[in-house]
Structures are given as structure tokens and as C-alpha cells.
Amino acid sequence: MAKERRALIMLFGGTGDLATRKLYPALFNLYEKGNIRDHFAVLGTSRAELSDDEFKAMVTKSVAKESNDKKMIQDFVSHFAYVAHDVTDVKHYSVLREKADELDKKYEINGNRVFYISMAPNFFGTVAQNLKTQHLLTDNGEFNRLVIEKPFGRDYKSAKQLNDELSAAFDENQIFRIDHYLGKEMIQNIEAIRFGNTIFEALWNNRYIDNIQITLAEDLGVEERAGYYDNSGALRDMVQNHIMQIVSLLAMEQPVAFKDVDIRSEKVKALRSLRVYDVIEASSNFVRGQYGESPDGKTKPYREEDDVPADSNTETFVAGKLLFDNYRWSGTPFYIRTGKKLAGKFTRVDVVFKKPLVDIFAFPQSGSTPLNDNVLTIFVEPNQGFSLRVNAKNNEQGFHTEPVDLSYMEDQKDVPQPYERLIHDVLKGDGTNFSSWPEVASAWKFVDQIRQVWDIQQPNFPNYIPGTMGPVAADELLARDNRQWVYRINQ
């Protein structure tokens, strides 16, 4: 039986895209399971002048596909209220406070508050500070928690400034920085695979692992978000947050216990031992790309997308080689890549183990092909599971080895979506799957070095064809090290 959590959730940006597409469905799923039920309320805000009923109708619409049980939806939505509010209007916070107090009393919430800022990032600091100065934080409940959407800054300096603003109002353990990749089933499974299995953890180091590859591929382009994306680019949009978080989970030492403080402490240590590149290393170890037109003319080049300047040098693809200067990983590169308009929508991690030092099957008359790499592949999306490639004898006459995949795929029915998991964690006060400030800071310091080099060097864009796996230089990055991507098209 699910444990019911008591909380008033104050949602800034309550009419926005994220709220209606992801947050309300996630909350409904928590309601359906009983994680929230009688003692919760959602107070939505934005500038739009909506009545409670209009807001409730909007929420009803956004959760309609989650259930056929109309009564359940109606009961859920009855816990919602709305106040039109401009977050820059300091005086008006008293109206929010009164409404929050009223809902708190009505649903016997006992002062537990979650402030979720699902708005453009330039408002994050303002809202946090106004919440504090205008006394919306309670002192009679178990918690006041702040949830912050991405992006968290656009470089170390701006991230630090934002963090200082948040820290003036909330303690680090009250701040939950969302990285929705940390809510994904198979990303959370990395810890189980590593620390629950001697056969992996004992080999999880530079003696046995040749390299690790992380691919976050998207077949879509920038869609409606060009205005944001063109100012960001793939390095900031995907590498600084999602990829660095995955890297830290793969690279960290075993935490003392499976607790947020212990896990965060190991992730930070891992990120701090990542080699921060100088100009020469950044130029040679990172590759950027921007898609052009498809050969059939059906996909237009990035530079012709709506709201993208015709001379944009924003990268829609990044590949890179990351090196750790620590005992576990020295000499074992982590290769990463991500991009828009690639060959498909998928996320995977390929852990490539070293071959046996001696291939005893490779005597000339054996006819055996050389041994394959053992590869542990973690399939994050669209399928969720993992497979382990091993060499085995085939069942023909003679003795020939061939690769065999031992694979496990999860039944995806009823797997909670990332926002459902993450909001549940916020209600529980579990920060495991959120980015802590030291992690964010280390990730920016690494990424800033690449960005600085790219900002002064002119790229030769466009340089890849939609529907491929990015520019040729991304393959050359590995070929230079006598390696190749485990996932290739036309293999």
C-alpha cells in the first residue's frame, strides 16, 4: 500500500507546456496510486486571468488520457486551485500566501510545502527570494522544498549566481534540481547493475573496461523550441546536465550506503576527477555538428528552421572523449554523443570490456573469427533493459566462436514516468535523483572549457546529414584510438 504524502504544491508556470504535458499527468498517477490522496492541494499560478473552474478544466484535459475513471479524475482535480499572479509583483505574494494557508487548512496539510518553478529560468531566483521574503515558507510543517527546472545557468558563472540567489532563501537540502534523465528507469538501474553484481563491479575499472560509450540520439529536430535551443546548443542542452549525470553514475565509487548524501558525495568526487581540458585537448577531444538538408530535400537544414538565424553556428550535435585522472579510470576513455535529427530516438550506454590478453582460438587453421568485445549495453530508451555480449562456441562441426547476446528486457507496462518518480522523491525528501550544486558546478567547469574554445573557432557547418549518426569526425574521434562506436548504422 502506497504511503500517502501530505503537501501543498505551489506550481509557478501552472498553465505552461511542461505543467500540462508532464506534471499534471505525473501528479494524477501519484494520486491514482495513493501517494497523494486526501491531504494534498495544488495551487497553480501564472499571469493568465483564469477562474478556478477554467484551471480545473485545463488540468482535467491534461490528465484525461491517464484513466477512464472519470470520478477519480474529478476527485483529483477538486484539489486544484488557481491564482493569477505575476511573479515579479512582490506585493501580490500575500494573495498566494492567503490562498495557500486556506488550502492547507482545508486539506489538513500541516504546513508541508513544495514550490515548483516551471517557468523560464530567469525567474528562478526571483521566485525563490520572494517566497522567502514574503513569508510563504512555513515553520509549522515537516518541510519547505523548492523544485527547479532546467536549465540551471548557461555557464559556471551564471549557474553560481543563480545558486547564490536560491541559497539566500533555501538550504541545499531543500533544493531539488530536476534532471529528468535521473528519473528514467534504466538510468536508476545503473546503480543496481553496478553495485548489486560482483561480476560487474569487480571488473568496473581500467584493468577490464576498454571504454564506455554513451549515446543520447534524437530523430526530432528543435520543433517549437528553436528560440531557446539556438541560444543553448547541444553542449549546454544535453551534455552539461543529462550526459554528465550519466557519466558520474557510471564512474563513481561505491557509495557508503544507498542514500542521497552518500551517492551525491561519490558523484561529485567522480566529476571532480574528470580532466578539465585545455584549449588543445578541447579542440581535439570534442566534435560538434549541425545538420544540413536531407538528400531527398524532405528535411530542411537547421539554419532554415523557424526562429533559427540563417547564419547560426549553434551545434545540434556533440561527440566527445572524456578522461578521468583517477586510479579507477585512468586510461579508459568515456565517449559521449548526442544530437538532433539523428538516425533514431534512443539512449544507450555501451560498456566495452577488454579482450582476453591471449586469444587461444586464433590459431591460423582454426577458421575462428577473432574474439568479439564483451559489451554490456544498457538500453535506456525506447526499450528498457540490458544485454551482455559474450563469446561462445557455435553449434557447428569444428570449433568456431561467435558472439551471443544474453539479454533482459523489462516489461514497460506501468513503469512510472520520470516526472512521476521525481515528484514522488520530492514528496519523500529523497534527493538521490536530483543534481546537487557541487555536481552542477563541476559539470559546468568542464563544459565551459569546450564552449570557450568553440566560441572562438569558426565551425564548418552544416556538416552532417539528417538520419545519420552525425558528422564523420565523430567516427574519426574513436578511429584515432583504434576504436569504433558499438552502435553504428548499416552495421
83: phi then psi, degrees, rounded to nearest 5? -135, 125
Closest to ligand NDP by CB, 59 vs 109, is: 59
The whole-angstrom separation of Cα 28 and Cα 72 is 9
User: How do 401-409 and 385-393 pair as beta strands?
Assistant: antiparallel
* Per annotation, catalytic residue among 39, 85, 180, 242: 242
Choose which of 72, 110, 121, 265 interacts with ligand NDP (CB under 6 A). Answer: 121
Closest to ligand BG6 by CB, 210 vs 237, is: 237
Residue 218: CB minimum distance to ligand BG6, A: 6
The whole-angstrom separation of Cα 263 and Cα 253 is 9
| 259 forms part of the interface with ligand NDP (CB under 6 A) | no
Question: Judged by CB under 6 A, which stretch of 43-51, 157-165, 214-222, 375-383 contacts ligand NDP?
Answer: 43-51
User: How do 286-289 and 80-84 pair as beta strands?
Assistant: unpaired
Instruction: Give which of ligand BG6, ligand NDP, none residue 403 binds (C-beta under 5 to 8 Å, depending on kind).
Output: none
Is residue 302 a contact partner of residue 316, using CB atoms and an 8 Å limit? yes
Choose which of 32, 66, 230, 237 interacts with ligand BG6 (CB under 6 A). Answer: 237
Cell of 116: 515548483
Residues contacting residue 466 through CB under 8 Å, at least 6 positions apart: 291, 292, 293, 294, 299, 341, 342
Cα-based distances in Å from 7 to 37, 104, 112, 313, 358: 10, 8, 5, 45, 61
Is residue 242 flagged as an active site residue? Answer: yes
| 218 forms part of the interface with ligand NDP (CB under 6 A) | no
**Residues in 141-200 that interact with ligand BG6 by CB under 6 A:** 150, 180
Instruction: Give which of ligand NDP, ligand BG6, none residue 404 binds (C-beta under 5 to 8 Å, depending on kind).
Output: none
CA 118 to chain centre: 16
| 46 forms part of the interface with ligand NDP (CB under 6 A) | yes
| 218 forms part of the interface with ligand BG6 (CB under 6 A) | yes
How many binding residues for ligand BG6 (CB under 6 A)?
4
Nearest Cα residue to 276 out of 144, 452, 425: 452
| 47 forms part of the interface with ligand NDP (CB under 6 A) | yes
Instruction: Give which of ligand NDP, ligand BG6, none residue 218 binds (C-beta under 5 to 8 Å, depending on kind).
Output: ligand BG6
Nearest Cα residue to 343 out of 220, 222, 216, 469: 469
Question: Judged by CB under 6 A, which stretch of 14-22, 185-193, 235-243, 405-413 contacts ligand NDP?
Answer: 14-22
The whole-angstrom separation of Cα 214 and Cα 236 is 16
Q: Which residues are catalytic?
A: 242
| Binding stretches for ligand BG6 (CB under 6 A) | 150, 180, 218, 237
| Binding stretches for ligand NDP (CB under 6 A) | 13-19, 46-48, 85-88, 118-121, 149-150
